[in-house]
Amino acid sequence: MKRKSALAICLLMYILKPAAGSDSAEQNWTNYVRIGAYGLQADNADKIVRNARDGYVLGIEVDNDIPGRYESFLNPEEKLKAIRAVAEKAHAAGNRAFVYIAGTECITANADKTAHTLAKDHPDWLQRKITGEPAVFGGGAAFWIRKGDEDVWVSPYAPEWRKTYMERVRQIAATGIDGIYVDIPYWMTHFDGWEDTWASFDDYTVAAFKKQTGLDARKEVRLGDFSDPKFRKWVDFRIQTITGFIQEIDRTAKSVNPEIKTIPEIYPGIEEEAVRVGSDVYSLYPVVDAIAHEYEFGEGDHMASSRTPLDWFRYQVGMHSFRAFAQGKATWILNYSWDGDKKVDAREAMMNLAASEIMAGANFWDAPGHSMAGSNDLPTRKKIFSWIKTHEETFYRPRTAIDPIGVYFSPETRNYNANEFIASYRGILILLMQKHLEFQIVTPRTLSDFQGGTLILPDVRIMSEGERAWLRTYVGRDKILMITGEDVTGLGAAANILRFRKCPGKDYSAALQKDFDASTPDQEHEFLERLATGTAIRVVASHMIATSIARIDGKPHVFFANFAGLRGGVNPVQTPQTGVQVTVSGVAKGRGFFLPFLGDLQPLDGTAGGSGITYKLPAIEKGAVFWYEP
């Protein structure tokens, strides 16, 4: 549109369990996509596939929503034929195609002129406020809702709707299409007047919550009060519900076509919005094949042309978090570069967006304004896609840690204490990026695999007994644990347990927010001095460059994203950064390589010294990657 049954407790257990083989997920076409989107009609499959081929598109999104339009929800045959046609044409051309469907939203066209709409025919299906008001909207409520249309949001627990919805999923999978792209599978909490409702309180949802918890959501839950254990159960239940809904879509589609991919589109990222709408990417990654992130990172500006350098660094934190949650699965970014800004060149904004995303290992999807299809500048997109295609293995082969500092993402802390946790978590990660230190985001699913010598807990306020037991073992191996803010570990005093009651992550976040230009990571010198850093790769560069360090196919890589000189809405052209050096420790010889964004690969000669080989890099403009080969 930018356009079941009650859940059992075993679902929660499934969500918390790592997906089989997820730490080294086998790569497939979703890891390498360069996405273009197209409106699918009955007779334009050939044109779509030809256009994709000419534009270096790998991964064709087609907009042909069956369950999100009431007419085709009831009668899908014509749209199914079109989906089958584009799948066949794409495969014949060696491409892949995936089709858009809505999640819990459904539109009836010209509702003011027809006797049958979803709301008129099935009012019991609708999500509702606690006051009983149904989630029914008209033209103007969102830019994709036309005048006269009826836009409704359906409860995932409405049994008749869910049965028909899954039948449509089976029919779509049977066409041979490569993927099902599920947009906005949310609880309605993001339209005006619904933000603080914590919906839905329809009869089906309330009954499902009662069955699972024994609680009456309408009477026993203090909405918005995170200190209320009953409200926390409501929060968990809402996330479990959306996760279970998407999991059933995936299971249903694969029962017909085992190779089909399920890709939800989610705008909330790591911040509080994930809890509010119930679509939590951390919970979703284990039950899908990829996620397309329409990431707006909370209070920041999601249009590339108007982002400040601080916005760009926050964006990096979000994308690296997604990559950690994904555990080898693909991370697609449907974000927006430019929407008519007269002071900013659209082409520069597009390149900035692409560079920032691929340096983090995410897949670039170019779109104009706030739409999905088309481009702000097609020649620029073709240039970007052609270059990515040439160097795709550099950016999309699996990245593994070398000698990282771990930063812990605590889903439960985020769920119940989002503002405090995110300020600490984000501040710590920006600090490490700007100091050019290798970091690894660690989660409950990956904790047992973490091998780094230092782990940071950024104001983590909730821990399970399993997490605490692992930490005891970790510090017992003489590893360093750094606890900032609250301490809920239950650990006693020890030389390798460092506590910072005044959280440096929060302090640095506040300083950046107040005056980004005057803030540098060195102002957190006490924290940095006590931080045991790895020595395998050492980087000297401006703090206006975000770096990430990883091993790819056995070779150390350093990815650079330059945000120096950018001014939101004014200047989209970076100040080139010179004097950047990379030292590879413990080696006496080897080759270095430098690949600038949209440029050609350059071999580099290093200078051997007592600690290793040092490489002086050419000027970095928008971004670049360096790697070393023995």
| Rounded CA separation 282/318 (Å) | 12
As a whole number, mean pLDDT of residues 318-335 equals 97
- Taking the C-alpha atoms of residue 370 and residue 144, their distance in angstroms, rounded to an integer, is 10
First-residue to last-residue Cα distance in the chain = 50
Residue 222 gets which letter from DSSP? -
Model pLDDT for residues 195-214, shown as the tens digit of each residue: 999 999 999 999 999 999 99
H or E element at residue 330: strand 330-334
pLDDT digits (tens, 9 = 90+) for 308-322: 999 999 999 999 999
Does pLDDT of 1 surpass 90? no
Mean pLDDT rounded to a whole number for the chain: 93
Lowest mean pLDDT among 144-148, 361-365, 510-514, 616-620: 144-148
Q: What per-residue confidence (pLDDT) applies to 10?
A: 33
Residue 381 maps to a domain: no
219 and 276 belong to one structural domain: yes
Q: Nearest-CA neighbor of 99 among 150, 158, 48?
A: 48
- Whether residue 175 contacts residue 83, with contact meaning beta carbons closer than 8 Å, is answered with yes
pLDDT in tens, 569-605: 999 999 999 999 999 999 988 999 999 999 999 999 9
Q: Does any domain span residue 599?
A: yes
| Count of beta carbons in the 10 Å neighbourhood of residue 21 | 10
At 26, is the pLDDT very low, low, confident or very high (cuts 50, 70, 90)? confident
Residues 410 and 447 grouped into a single domain: yes
What pLDDT, on the 0 to 100 scale, is given for residue 368? 86
Which DSSP string corresponds to 335-395?
-B--SS-TTS-HHHHHHHHHHHHHHTTPEEE--STT-SSS-S-HHHHHHHHHHHHHTHHHH
> For residues 385 and 60, what is the distance between their CA atoms, to the nearest angstrom?
13
Please identify which residue in the block is written with the tokens 């770096």. 547
Is the same domain home to 86 and 177?
yes
**Lowest-pLDDT range of 99-108, 441-450, 552-561, 607-616:** 607-616
If one counts the domains in the chain, the total is 3
Element (H, E) at 315: helix 309-326
> Tell me, what's the pLDDT at 300?
55
- Which residues are bridge partners to 292 per DSSP? 265, 332
Which residues, other chains included, contact 16 with Cβ-Cβ below 8 Å and sequence gap of 6+?
Answer: 444, 445
The per-residue pLDDT for range 106-120, each reduced to its tens digit, is 999 999 899 999 999
Q: What's the rounded mean pLDDT across residues 398-422?
A: 97
Note the pLDDT tens digit of each residue in 288-310: 999 999 987 655 567 899 999 99
pLDDT band at 141 (very low <50, low <70, confident <90, very high): confident
DSSP 569-629: TTB--PPPB---EEEEET-S--EEEEEETTS--EEE--EEETTEEEEEPPPBSSEEEEEEE
357 pLDDT higher than 80: yes
**Which DSSP helix (H) or strand (E) runs through 99?**
strand 97-102
Interval 368-392 mean pLDDT: 92
Q: pLDDT tens digits, residue range 52-75?
A: 999 999 999 999 999 999 999 999
* Average pLDDT, integer, range 86-105: 98
Domain boundary among 529, 551, 581: 529
Any idea what the CATH number is for the domain that residue 67 is in?
Answer: 3.20.20
Alpha-carbon Rg for the chain in angstroms: 24
CATH number at 482 reads 3.40.50
Residue 506 shares a structural domain with residue 600: no
Residue 386 has pLDDT above 50, yes or no: yes
Q: Which of 491, 508, 529 is the last residue of a domain?
A: 529
Helix extents (H) in 93-214: 118-121, 159-173, 203-213
Dihedral, 303, 543, 456, 312 alpha carbons, nearest 10: 0
Answer whether the bond into residue 200 is a cis peptide, omega within 30°. Answer: yes
Check whether 14 has a pLDDT greater than 70. no
- Together in a domain, 81 and 211: yes
Q: How far apart are CA 315 and CA 304, in angstroms?
A: 10
Per-residue pLDDT, averaged over 392-409, amounts to: 97
Same domain, yes or no: 41 and 82: yes
Rounded (10°) CA dihedral 423, 425, 426, 428: 110
Is 334 within a domain?
A: no
**Distances in Å between the alpha carbon of 577 and those of 4, 328, 562, 565, 574?**
55, 31, 8, 10, 9
What is residue 533's predicted lDDT score, i.e. its pLDDT?
Answer: 84
Please tell me the distance from the alpha carbon of residue 123 to that of residue 370, in angstroms, as a whole number: 31
Question: 170-179, 369-378, 452-461: lowest mean pLDDT where?
Answer: 369-378
pLDDT higher than threshold 70 for residue 36: yes
9: left (phi over 0), alpha (psi -120 to 50) or beta: alpha
Bridge partners of 540, per DSSP, are 581
Same domain, 71 and 171: yes
C-alpha to C-alpha distance for 419 and 244, rounded to whole angstroms: 26
Residue 512 lies in a domain: yes
| Residues 169 and 254 both lie in one domain | yes
Chain centroid, CA 436 distance in Å: 23
Last residue of a domain, one of 249, 266, 294: 294
Q: Supply 621's token pair.
A: 């403009």
Are 480 and 547 part of one and the same domain?
Answer: no
| 12 band by pLDDT with thresholds 50, 70 and 90 | very low
CATH of the domain at 613: 2.60.40.1180
CA-based nearest residue to 630, from 597, 591, 595: 591
Report the pLDDT value the prediction gives residue 297, as an integer from 0 to 100: 67
User: Is the CB of residue 221 less than 8 Å from the CB of residue 168?
Assistant: no
My answer on whether 551 and 597 are in the same domain is yes
pLDDT mean over 242-248? 98
Instruction: Compute the 3-state secondary structure of the chain and give helix, strand, coil in percent, each to the nearest 5.
Output: 35, 20, 40
Q: Which long-range contacts (CB under 8 A, 24 or more apart) does 170-174 make?
A: 170/252, 170/253, 170/255, 170/256, 171/66, 171/76, 171/80, 172/66, 172/80, 172/83, 172/99, 172/101, 172/253, 173/252, 173/253, 173/254, 173/255, 173/256, 173/257, 173/260, 174/256, 174/257
Domain that holds residue 447: 405-529
> Which pLDDT does position 374 carry in this prediction?
87
User: Is 342 inside any structural domain?
Assistant: no
pLDDT at residue 20 above 60? Answer: no
- The pLDDT of residue 143 is 84
**Which residue in 445, 425, 370, 359 sits closest to 37, CA to CA?**
370
**Is there a single domain that holds both residue 504 and residue 544?**
no
20 φ, ψ to 5°? -60, 125
Higher pLDDT, 298 or 266: 266
Work out the average pLDDT over 224-233: 98
* 392 in a structural domain: no
The helix/strand/coil state of 92 is helix
506 sits in the region (left: phi over 0; alpha: psi -120 to 50; else beta) called alpha
* Token pair recorded at residue 578: 């010179």
Q: Flag whether 109 is in a domain.
A: no
Cα–Cα distance, 81 to 175 (Å, whole number)? 8
What's the whole-number mean pLDDT along residues 429-438? 98
Same-domain pairing of 520 and 541:
no
- Do the domain assignments include residue 344? no
